[in-house]
Structure 1
């Protein structure tokens, strides 16, 4: 006999739906949050567009699959943060960060894709673990500040690993008590959505590099992302530079 979903879980879902309405109202009143979500949607559309390109190139298929992974991750992260699960949403964004770092490495060194495809676990951990990928990107770009590590570490401490700092994302107020269950609070919502937008810009940039140059079908998605990316940069980086 099939049992109904437990009543408490049904009530929890109803509460999540109410919180989503509250979050959507907050986003509707804030053009910055709208822009972060718009560029995220554009990056997701880019991943979906690249997915439809028919190819026998196994290396390109890797880029397509990684793009699909970011699509699913963004979708899940949006659903979670709009339902009040900000910490869990941020945990999924850490997965996006790892994936876009890998895409970045592959975009600049295509032969690495084949090595990654055929690597066993030992070789994968030796050459393509998250720390090795970050180190390779920093060496390529001549970065010594380890900003990639700092961002990864931040996501890990706040969302990825149980520790005292991870309790920060379970509080409605900075100095308040941790709460159980979902909640909507402006600072937490803005923090997650803004990081989502920042990662979406990176994802879109890297996926765009894998589009075949002569594939006209992909142009609408590429142009839409490029326009939103430019607006996003001018909104957040130009303002920061002038302040």
Structure 2
């Protein structure tokens, strides 16, 4: 007889998580919006997976590949957590995706920065490539003054990244109720996290697409698939922007 090496209470917790995952699947099956967010997330992850298969000795390109792999792992972990009832922890991982996509955007806009980043020591990296420096560089490049990038980063930090009173909101099944310990499934928070995941996935896919070799045949199918899903996503969630194109 094989002895169960997982402590009993942890096994019970895991079983509860699996039940919540089934409940989440049923909720998603009834919501085409959530299905589209997850579909575009899968497409962005596929871009990261295919890009890593491009054989290149270019060390700068390899940086983009590794950053893409980082987003793949982060999305996978975030999906697993949110479907298992841990939305706050899922959102914390999405903050990492946000930082990574900003860095990819910076490097795609100025590839010469990749070599500087590769060779930077900790002091130089924090001076030139800390999250705040990257956001400021992108805003300056794009002429943005509204600090939308900061606001999004701050939102993830307040609700998931830092221990504060606001962070307890994501531990409450009901808005005005008490925080609970352990996982739970609730429609509003599930939709909020998956929606943010979809928005981030669109950005990740856009940036990874910029690093694909133009004539690499193997890269074309996932790029086309992402482009189609991205357009469907824009048409669904930002119809005004889509009509202006």
If the length of structure 1 is used for normalisation, what is the TM-score?
0.97
User: After the TM superposition, which segments of 4 or more aligned residues of structure 1 sit over 4 Å from their partners?
Assistant: 239-242
**Distance change >3 Å, CA 241–CA 164, structure 1 → 2:** farther
1:99-178 correspondence runs (5 A): 99-178=100-179
Cα distance in structure 1, aligned partners of 2:149 and 2:226: 24
**Counterpart secondary structure, 1:213:** coil
Q: Match of 1:7?
A: 8
Q: Determine helix, strand or coil for the equivalent of 1:144.
A: coil
User: Which residues of 2 match residues 218-233 of structure 1 at below 5 A?
Assistant: 218-233=219-234
Measured against aligned partners, the alpha-carbon deviations of 1:166-211 in whole angstroms (never above 9, x if no partner) come to 0000001111100000001000000000000000000000000000
Whole-Å Cα distance in 2 between the matches of residues 57 and 240 of structure 1?
37
Residue in 2 that maps onto 1:211: 212
State the match for 1:43 in structure 2: 44
Equivalent residue, structure 2, for 1:186: 187
Count of residues in Structure 1 that have an aligned counterpart in Structure 2: 241
Alpha-carbon spacing, 1:233–1:118, altered in 2? closer, same or farther (3 Å)? same
1:32 deviates by 0.1
**TM-score (normalizing by structure 2):** 0.97
Q: Secondary structure at the match of 2:181?
A: coil
Rounded Cα–Cα distance in structure 2 between residues aligned with 1:129 and 1:208 = 24
Unpaired segments ≥5 residues, structure 1: none
Q: CA deviation at 1:95?
A: 0.2
Do the aligned partners of residues 14 and 146 (structure 1) sit closer, same or farther apart at CA in structure 2, a change above 3 Å counting?
same
Tell whether the 8 Å contact from 2:235 to 2:242 is kept in structure 1 after alignment: no
- Separation of aligned partners in 1, 2:99 and 2:120: 18
